[in-house]
């Protein structure tokens, strides 16, 4: 049974470079907006519009962006909780949910998700030990073994099984419930954990506890994380690489130090300087951006950020910029005409 083998498989391709654990190409999802007399499709919410990225083994990819930018939809598409319109998702080298590829059930064993709302993602009528043991039982583990594994996991996430195993979700605090959710996600011994705003609802003192726990679990269990959050500080703390999303598209992607140190996209820079300064004697004096993010139903033409960008020019209004390498660090790319020589933007590099 597949479940018995833990995630120790580290196959490497011939050239010695570890193959990415997850490869996503051209992922796209439009949600129809219907209306009118015959309830026809009148528009689309372009929730995720052609995004491409990779996640290497044992790394943490942070995804940041404002509400409505498609970061949670991306997570749900990866888990196939929503069916993508187009896009090629490969997990551990195999295409997912296509004939001859990795079956969905197998992919979902190896890729698990933790949600923001710790209460609604637990069954209120089950003691937490049964919630954690449920997945392994479905995947073929004997009842007693599944329970033993659940108790071991409770221990691992810092909840004493003798005290907590029989409790119901409402008997736990928010931080404890989120620990249970993490244990539940780990019960199938996955390779990849998608954490969708997993610490956002927690109080600061508890958030720090859960972040420390995640860092520990990652190294103990050789996990790979996709960490989705709107909190730039938390993403900087936990991520190896960061993907910045704006209105369903990738604005910038790169190693965490490159993104936070030498951001190339004006949106990333604005997002970073929107953070409170944490120094009452050097407060933010000007808002880096005006207005709210536009509606993803009718996103702006060309570069989607041009309506709020101080550097926007004619070319930005017409031509969508492609993701292109920027800066000195390998793997750092941004979708901005200013980053591409000869793009027609007056501030383009080398112009």
- Token code pair at residue 32: 């129809």
Specify whether the CB–CB gap between 214 and 47 falls below 8 A.
no
Residues in Cβ contact with 24 at an 8 Å cutoff, skipping those fewer than 6 apart? 51, 52, 53, 54, 78, 87, 88, 89, 90
Q: Interface with another protein includes 220 (CB under 8 A)?
A: no
Q: How far is CA 166 from CA 147, 265, 330, in A?
A: 11, 50, 50
DSSP string, 64-121: E--TTSSHHHHHHHHTTSS--SEEEEEETTEEBSSTTSB-HHHHHHHEEEE-S-TTTT
CB of 42 to another protein, least distance (A): 17
**Does the footprint of another protein cover residue 230 (CB under 8 A)?**
yes
Q: Which of 1, 14, 37, 278 binds another protein (CB under 8 A)?
A: 278
- Closest approach of another protein to the CB of residue 36, in Å: 19
Q: Does 196 bind another protein (CB under 8 A)?
A: no
Q: Report 247-266 residues binding another protein (CB under 8 A).
A: 256, 260
Instruction: Map the footprint of another protein across residues 55-84, applying CB under 8 A.
Output: 66-67
Nearer residue to another protein within complex by CB, 135 or 169: 169
Select the residue interacting with another protein from 13, 280, 328, 350 (CB under 8 A).
280
Q: According to CB under 8 A, which one of 207, 253, 254, 264 is a site residue for another protein? A: 207
Assess 237 for contact with another protein (CB under 8 A): yes
Tokens of 323: 């993701």
Q: CB nearer to another protein: give 156 or 308.
A: 308
Given the complex with another protein, which of 107 and 172 has the nearer CB atom?
172
Give the residue with the Cβ less far from another protein, 177 or 337.
177
Strand runs (DSSP E) across 173-289, as ranges? 192-196, 224-229, 241-246, 249-255
Neighbour tally for 130: CB within 10 Å: 18
Pick one of 279, 310, 328, 330: the residue that binds another protein (CB under 8 A).
Answer: 279
Q: What is the CA radius of gyration of the chain?
A: 22
Q: In this structure, what token pair is assigned to residue 45?
A: 């919410």
By the 10 Å C-beta count (0-12 exposed, 13-18 middle, 19+ buried), 282 is classed as: exposed
The one segment of 32-40, 132-140, 208-216, 217-225 that binds another protein by CB under 8 A: 208-216
User: Minimum CB separation from another protein for residue 83, in Å?
Assistant: 28
Q: Identify which of 63, 55, 48 has the alpha carbon closest to the alpha carbon of residue 21.
A: 55
Check residue 274 for interaction with another protein (CB under 8 A): yes
Binding part of the chain for another protein, among 2-10, 188-196, 229-237, 316-324 by CB under 8 A, reads 229-237
Q: Does residue number 299 form part of the binding site for another protein (CB under 8 A)?
A: no
Nearer of residues 14 and 278 to another protein, judged by Cβ: 278
Residue 45 β-bridge partners: 31
Residue from 35, 287, 331, 342 touching another protein (CB under 8 A): that is: 287
Angle at 38 between CA 32 and CA 40, to 5 degrees: 20
Q: Is 307 in the site for another protein (CB under 8 A)?
A: no
Q: Which stretch binds another protein (CB under 8 A): 141-149, 170-178, 186-194, 317-325?
A: 170-178
Q: Which residues bind another protein (CB under 8 A)?
A: 66-67, 173-176, 203-209, 211-212, 215, 230-234, 236-237, 256, 260, 270-271, 274-281, 283-293
């Amino acid at each position: 049974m597949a479940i018995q083998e833990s995630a120790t498989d580290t196959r490497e391709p011939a050239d010695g470079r570890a193959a990415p654990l997850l490869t996503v190409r051209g992922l796209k999802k439009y949600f129809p907006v219907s209306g009118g007399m015959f309830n026809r499709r009148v528009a689309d919410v372009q929730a995720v519009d052609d995004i491409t990225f990779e996640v290497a083994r044992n790394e943490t990819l942070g995804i940041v962006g404002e509400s409505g930018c498609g970061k949670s939809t991306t997570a749900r598409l990866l888990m196939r909780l929503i069916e993508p319109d187009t896009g090629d998702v490969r997990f551990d080298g195999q295409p997912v949910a296509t004939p001859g590829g990795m079956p969905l059930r197998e992919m979902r064993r190896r890729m698990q998700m933790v949600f923001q709302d710790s209460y609604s993602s637990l069954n209120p009528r089950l003691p937490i030990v049964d919630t954690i043991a449920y997945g392994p039982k479905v995947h073929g583990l004997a009842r007693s073994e599944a329970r033993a594994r659940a108790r071991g996991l409770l221990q691992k996430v810092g909840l004493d099984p003798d005290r907590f195993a029989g409790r119901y979700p409402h008997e736990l605090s928010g931080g404890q419930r989120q620990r249970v959710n993490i244990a539940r996600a780990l019960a199938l011994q996955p390779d990849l954990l998608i954490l969708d705003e997993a610490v956002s609802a927690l109080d600061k003192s508890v958030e720090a506890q859960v972040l420390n726990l995640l860092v520990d679990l990652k190294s103990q269990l050789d996990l790979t994380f996709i960490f989705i959050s709107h909190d730039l500080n938390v993403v900087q703390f936990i991520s190896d690489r960061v993907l910045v999303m704006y209105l369903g598209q990738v604005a910038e992607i790169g190693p965490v130090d490159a993104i936070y140190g030498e951001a190339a996209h004006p949106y990333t820079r604005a997002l970073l300087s929107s953070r409170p300064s944490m120094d009452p004697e050097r407060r933010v004096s000007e808002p880096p951006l005006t207005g709210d993010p536009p509606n993803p139903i009718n996103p702006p033409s060309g570069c989607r950020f041009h309506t709020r960008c101080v550097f926007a020019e004619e070319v930005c209004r017409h031509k969508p910029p492609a993701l292109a390498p920027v800066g000195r660090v390998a793997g750092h790319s941004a979708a901005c005409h200013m980053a591409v020589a000869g793009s027609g933007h007056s501030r383009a590099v080398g112009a």
